[in-house]
Amino acid sequence: MNASFKITEATISDVPALAALHVQTFNETHGFHPGGPTYELREYQWQKMFQQKDESWFCFVMEDEPRKLIGFAKGQPYQHADCPGFTGELNKIYLLNNYHKRGLGRQLICKVAHEFIRRGIGSMLLFGDANSPSNGFYERMGAEKLFAKNGGFHGGYGWKDLQDLITNCPV
């Protein structure tokens, strides 16, 4: 684990930096598209989430020194019938490209997995882009591909047992 990076639970005071980070990391991951999510939209969305905050979801932010946000991960319960056996959702995970390949994404996923376990949730899935370069990362973290009923892969990955996942986590 790299001691110069810190993961904390996000708060409403993080919203401006979190919104800017969300836009930047989204564009780095998916490419910039005119008409794509703007800072104003992401700020509004995060502000609204925190104003209506309940215990159902959580968000962790990763910062370097001095308190510059470089990544975040959001978790929430998963209660849909389309993927039985999964009770937690890694709803968002983003890390600035300059910080990839340092074990920081692993730390974020592990933090989310530990939080789900603490909450009594033992499995987790995520829905991403089927062609994302991040897919190899999820597979290295032990996630299995989730296939649609028609056999197609649309970017879903899952961990049926978070206890197995955390065996690959830094202490």
Q: Which domains does the chain have, with CATH numbers?
A: 6-166 (3.40.630.30)
Helical residues (DSSP H) of 31-82, grouped into ranges: 39-51
What is the per-residue pLDDT for 166? 94
Residue 49 tokens read as 């989430």
CB burial class (10 A; 0-12, 13-18, 19+) of residue 119?
middle
Secondary element (H or E) of residue 118? helix 104-118
Mean pLDDT across 92-117: 95
DSSP assigned state of 14: G
pLDDT recorded at residue 133: 83
pLDDT tens digit string along 115-167?
999 999 999 999 988 888 889 999 999 999 999 888 889 989 999 999 999 99
So what's the pLDDT on residue 2? Answer: 45
Residue-wise pLDDT for 43-61, tens only, equals 999 999 999 888 899 999 9
Tens of pLDDT, residue by residue over 2-34, are 448 999 999 999 999 999 999 999 999 888 778
Look at residue 1 and tell me whether its pLDDT is greater than 90: no
Q: What is the pLDDT of residue 8?
A: 94
Please report the pLDDT score of residue 3 as a whole number: 47
Nearest to 127, CA basis, from 148, 142, 110, 113? 148
Hey, what are 161's tokens? 């047992």
For 158, residues 6+ apart whose C-beta sits below 8 A from its C-beta are: 83, 85, 86, 123, 124, 125, 126, 143, 144, 146
